[in-house]
Structure 1
């Protein structure tokens, strides 16, 4: 993950660590082990799966806004780069930390630079509206129907058996998470694309409690304070 400098307030890593500390105090050992083991397995196996990388060209995908309107990737990059933030689902605790963090630390700089930011999940739009309204997100939340784009980019993982059983025991279904029969979600990822849907930056997080910090995204877009200083000196 990235460095954490030049952003006001706690880093994502620090915010997630506070959640981890609380879980160690309050969760049953079995539940804690299921969560930790799934994440550890994803980290171990991450290098075995091909993923999207810098220089790749994304497919000409069209996603769906929570109001049902289509959003084409080509439209997002019509005037320059765009930032795509892939997240798991609307009630994911870590996603409810990450998206407000990006709202507060990333979106203002992107708005000033007129760079689109979108948050993408495979969850059906009927469920995604909740996270957008809960956090008053100023950027679009989009549904990746059937995980089509997430799968094309090599971002998805499948629940291991203990995680699936734990979710089912709480009444969860794969259809509620992604609209399909597969217990599959995207790994949290930040992808920056430019015109032609060419990837300029890609950071994929196999552990959903360790995500891309804002300074790395700003640096990839030459919007970090250090980048501005270099341009000024030149």
Structure 2
């Protein structure tokens, strides 16, 4: 019997499914406003300030959902680490993307012994919900003062007029995050090697686009190979 091999799903496919459901359910005006907002974010973004390969990452410690702390030193103790930045636990696009990463990225990293951490500026007690909702087996951490987000150049915030309009719709982002701040990160994926150097960084101001797992895994493998080569040369 012939069996058809199913190719792994891509993050683009996960996000396309979400957009298709919105296309079917949302009124045209809402779809247009959503697309225009994402377009403005892309236009206003300044890539020159984004974290980039070659950057050295200073130590950090972040509180985790459910209690505890995740530290850079621990994350890279045995190999590279992967950081995924997302908006907040109730963000539909972030839920879709993280669910995609759970299926397409987390298993490969687990086999490689690589740490995966998803990071949001939302307070840790609220992030517990997204971890439990999808049964994530990777760490979900909080950057409540958005210090790491700012250091990586990922943060953005709405204008005063946009905040007023959001509050008029009954949406207060500062309350949702639990911090009073309206700063969110652009969805991003960052690979950091054992020398605490960034080996891969993809920042997407359009929150309906996410870094593909295949690219992240390739960067992780390259970082691990490079570290092994350096270690071997030092030992010879």
Which residue in the other structure is 2:29 paired with?
Answer: 30
In the aligned structure 2, how far is the partner of 1:23 from the partner of 1:85?
24
What's the TM-score once normalised by structure 2's chain length? Answer: 0.84
Residue segments in structure 2 that go unaligned for 5+ positions in a row: 223-236
**8 A Cα contact 2:188 2:202, kept in partner:** yes
Q: What is aligned with 1:228?
A: none
User: 2: CA distance between counterparts of 1:48 and 1:115?
Assistant: 27
Deviations 1:125-180 (A, max 9, x none): 12101110000000010001211100111001112567535542453323334343
Unaligned runs of at least 5 residues, structure 1:
1-5, 224-234
Whose RCO is larger (CA < 8 A, sep 6+)? 1
What's 1:64 paired with?
A: 63
Match of 2:120 in 1: 121
**Structure 1 segments of 4+ aligned residues over 6 angstroms from their partners:** none
TM-score normalised by the chain length of structure 1? 0.85
The 3 A distance-change label for structure 1 pair 39 and 151 is: same
Q: Secondary structure at the match of 2:221?
A: coil
**Within 5 A, what are the aligned runs for 1:165-180?**
165=164, 167-180=166-179
Quote the residue 2:181 is aligned against: 182
Q: In 2, Cα distance between the equivalents of 1:49 and 1:173? A: 30
Query: Given the superposition, is the C-alpha separation of residues 78 and 138 from structure 1 closer, same or farther in structure 2, using an over 3 Å criterion?
Result: same
Point out the structure with max Rg over C-alpha: 2
Aligned residue in 2 for 1:111:
110
Aligned partner of 2:229 in structure 1 is none
Cα distance in 1 for residues equivalent to 2:68 and 2:122? 15
Distance 1:59 1:41, change over 3 A: same
Name the CA distance, whole Å, in 1 between partners of 2:39 and 2:114: 34
Residue 61 of structure 1, CA deviation:
1.2
Q: 2: distance between equivalents of 1:155 and 1:48?
A: 9
Question: Residues 164, 20 of structure 1: CA spacing in aligned structure 2 closer, same or farther, 3 A cutoff?
Answer: farther
Structure 1 partner of 2:72 = 73
Count of aligned pairs: 218
